[in-house]
Amino acid sequence: MRLAKYLAHAGVASRRKSEQIIAAGRVRVDGRVVTDPAFGVEGGEEIRVDGHQVEPEGREVWMVNKPLEVISTADEPGKRVAVVDLVDSTARLYPVGRLDADSTGLILLSNDGELANRLTHPRYEVEKTYRVRLKKPVRDEAIEQLRQGVRLEDGVTSPATVRKLGERELDVTIHEGRNRQVRRMAEAVGNEVVGLQRISLGPLKLGRLPVGKCRLLDETEVERLWKDAGNE
């Protein structure tokens, strides 16, 4: 197994971050500094990061119903609550992707960096559905624009699946992950988002999980996530 992948599976950091940690010379394998993220390990070696031994920990994937103003980071140095603070676990958990402080709903936390990379990388086109409340009634022409793709400052969006729930409410499904994308899409068609809740990610649905609560996914759900992310 590649050293970077091993660190990601052990919960040290995401795969990309693990590659940076290795390249910076912060990792020793059996006492020797290794700077090649592709260096092969079998798991029986003594592996240390910044002097601390890396011990493989069991994989955990948690679903959280994130409240408003909770930050989607592993830690929050300010006064606001970090999403990891909502989960009672001793594992080194990291958010899978981001959900803005002014957005709510489904976010995953995991110590499996490889799974996190699969679920967030645009290559794997994992779908995310948002329940969107708008400031103004939405026009049929605007819905059609969203379905075809709208031009943003960083390029045209891929076609979205849009379901109208009411004159100011939509379900919007996308598989991209641009910064504040749904909000910018609404602005591009002359409207404004006043409420945004992620209600599904890949095969997972938020369901009736209360705001601020979490639950540990079972192995069947995790396997479905892997399958959805292209790992048959």
**Residues annotated as part of the active site:** 100
Compute the distance between CA of residue 9 and CA of residue 59 in angstroms, rounded to an integer: 8
Give the DSSP letter string of 76-119.
Answer: -SSSSPBGGGGS--SS--EEES---TT-EEEEEEES-HHHHHHH
Cβ atoms of 131 and 197 within 8 Å: the answer is yes
Query: Which residue(s) pair with 71 in the sheet?
Result: 82
The DSSP element (H or E) to which 65 belongs, if any, is strand 61-66
3-state secondary structure of 23: helix
